Structure 1
Amino acid sequence: MAAIVQFENVGLRYGHGEEVLRDVSFALAPGAFCFLTGASGAGKTSLLRLLYLAQRPSRGVMRLFGIDMLTLPRAQAPSIRRRVGVVYQDFRLIPHLSVADNIALPLRIADAAEADVAEAVGEMLAWVGLTHRAQARPATLSGGEQQRVAIARAVIARPDILLADEPTGNVDDAMADRLVQLFASLNRLGTTVVVATHDAQLIARVPGAQMMRIAAGHVTAPRVQRA
């Protein structure tokens, strides 16, 4: 089975500074569940930025879905980016939009029919347990509720890869359990999930998950695991 993500000797630097990622090589099989661990400042967020195409590598080979991202024409990047869902550490919800409209945003950007949007949003609200908060504004939500809205928005377009940056950093243990269950349910449906975290308890909740550790810009990772 071909890897859905493949890095070969990838380096990343911002501007003319030193490399923040160095000689990174790893691969993920379709349907993998992977934890990316490391201390604050080790490079987890930079690696995620590469994965959701917010940044291009400075060197090396980076393939998503078998496509070389270094040679990909910029005009084709949006179509690849739509296959990657992202749950940001700071949620990035639009404050003047309701919960329902925040979740609907990726579909509306893609010009989906409004009837299809309404149906999909209803399904997502039920899945994350927020049907009763559909018309609420983000400022009125708890941290756990905002995180669930962010997850629903990230997956409503059915991405092939879901990335989550410290998803349990602002929630209690009970909510962390619920979030992990949401990620696991997506993974069982075939979504490749990558969670950046330093939370050992969170990692323990998903036995058998693939592990990658990053320190000083270097990644230690096992070989491709078959789904």
Structure 2
Amino acid sequence: MANIVQFENVGLRYGHGEETLSDVSFTLAGGAFYFLTGASGAGKTSLLKLLYLAQRPTRGAIRLFGEDAVTLPRGRLPGFRRRIGVVFQDFRLVPHLSSFDNIALPLRVSGVPEGDIEAPVREMLAWVGLEGKADARPPTLSGGEQQRVAIARAVIGRPEILVADEPTGNVDPDMAERLLHLFESLNRLGTTVVVATHDFHLLGRIPDAHMMRLDKGRLHDPTGSLRHPASGR
């Protein structure tokens, strides 16, 4: 599988403090599944921000889809970001919009004709098990339901990469496993999936997943060899 992401000696510093990320190097292969692990404060969210182009590195090189992402002109950022789906830790749903309209939002922003929106949004609602919640607004949904709306919104545009930041942190174990199965299903369709988590109980659920571990801003077990989460092979 071709590499679609490459980080080389990437460093990230906020303000004048110490580096949040130091000398981070790894590659992501198209169509693979990755777990990014590490304790709270290890730098997982910062690394993901670099990956979905919400932040530029202080130093180092990042190549995304074969192009230099560090020097990418600002005008080209929206096009690149549409190729990356993001599930945020705090969901970031629009509270006054229905589940249907939250999921449809990326399509409308991209200029998809209104007549072409109904079918894919209904498909996504069914995919995440929320067919009966199309008209419900986020404040009336449970945490797990809100998370599933956020996932459907992230993947409605069929992204080449899906990035999920602690997607199971606000749900019970049964829902966490269900969400993970949704990511696995998307991965089987060819999307590269990166799930950041500190929940080590999930790591054995995807036998072929690659593992990356952050510790105090430095990457250990950089991707390059396949490691089984349970055995460490």
Shorter-chain TM-score: what band?
A: over 0.9
CA displacement at 1:2 relative to structure 2: 2.9
Q: Distance in 2 between matches of 1:167 and 1:100?
A: 20
Q: What residue number does 1:40 align with?
A: 40
Q: Distance in 2 between matches of 1:67 and 1:91?
A: 29
Give 1:1-227 correspondences, 5 Å limit.
1-220=1-220, 221-223=222-224
What amino acid is aligned across from residue 211 of structure 2 in structure 1?
A: M
Q: Distance in 2 between matches of 1:201 and 1:18?
A: 32
1:180-203 deviation line (CA, Å, top 9, x unaligned): 110000000000000000111111
Confirm or deny: 8 A CA contact 2:6 2:25 kept in the other structure: yes
Q: Where do 4+ consecutive residues of structure 1 move more than 3 Å? A: none
SS at 1:61 equivalent? strand
Identity of aligned residues (%): 71
1:111-165 deviation line (CA, Å, top 9, x unaligned): 1011111111011001001010000010000111000000000000010000001
What amino acid is aligned across from residue 180 of structure 1 in structure 2?
A: L
Confirm or deny: 8 A CA contact 2:4 2:64 kept in the other structure: yes
CA displacement at 1:224 relative to structure 2: 6.5
Confirm or deny: 8 A CA contact 1:3 1:224 kept in the other structure: no
1:224/1:158 Cα in 2 relative to 1: closer, same or farther (>3 Å)? farther
Q: Distance in 1 between matches of 2:207 and 2:150?
A: 25
Q: Distance in 2 between matches of 1:149 and 1:222?
A: 30
1:195-227 deviation line (CA, Å, top 9, x unaligned): 0001111111111200000011101213166xx
SS at 1:204 equivalent? coil
User: Which blocks of at least 5 consecutive residues in structure 2 are unaligned?
Assistant: 227-233
Q: Distance in 1 between matches of 2:31 and 2:177?
A: 21
Q: Distance in 2 between matches of 1:17 and 1:108?
A: 40
CA displacement at 1:174 relative to structure 2: 1.2
Q: Distance in 1 between matches of 2:9 and 2:176?
A: 34
What amino acid is aligned across from residue 79 of structure 1 in structure 2?
A: G
TM-score (norm 2): 0.94
Larger mean Cα displacement after TM superposition, 62-71 or 42-51: 62-71
What amino acid is aligned across from residue 119 of structure 2 in structure 1?
A: E
What amino acid is aligned across from residue 108 of structure 2 in structure 1?
A: R
User: Which blocks of at least 5 consecutive residues in structure 1 are unaligned?
Assistant: none
Q: Distance in 2 between matches of 1:222 and 1:80?
A: 23
Confirm or deny: 8 A CA contact 2:99 2:137 kept in the other structure: yes
Confirm or deny: 8 A CA contact 1:29 1:224 kept in the other structure: no
SS at 2:135 equivalent? coil
Confirm or deny: 8 A CA contact 1:27 1:224 kept in the other structure: no
1:14-48 deviation line (CA, Å, top 9, x unaligned): 12222100000000100110000000000000000
SS at 2:174 equivalent? helix
What amino acid is aligned across from residue 125 of structure 1 in structure 2?
A: L
1:122/1:177 Cα in 2 relative to 1: closer, same or farther (>3 Å)? same
Confirm or deny: 8 A CA contact 1:165 1:195 kept in the other structure: yes
Q: Distance in 1 between matches of 2:85 and 2:64?
A: 13
SS at 2:117 equivalent? helix
Confirm or deny: 8 A CA contact 1:35 1:197 kept in the other structure: yes
SS at 2:49 equivalent? helix
SS at 1:179 equivalent? helix
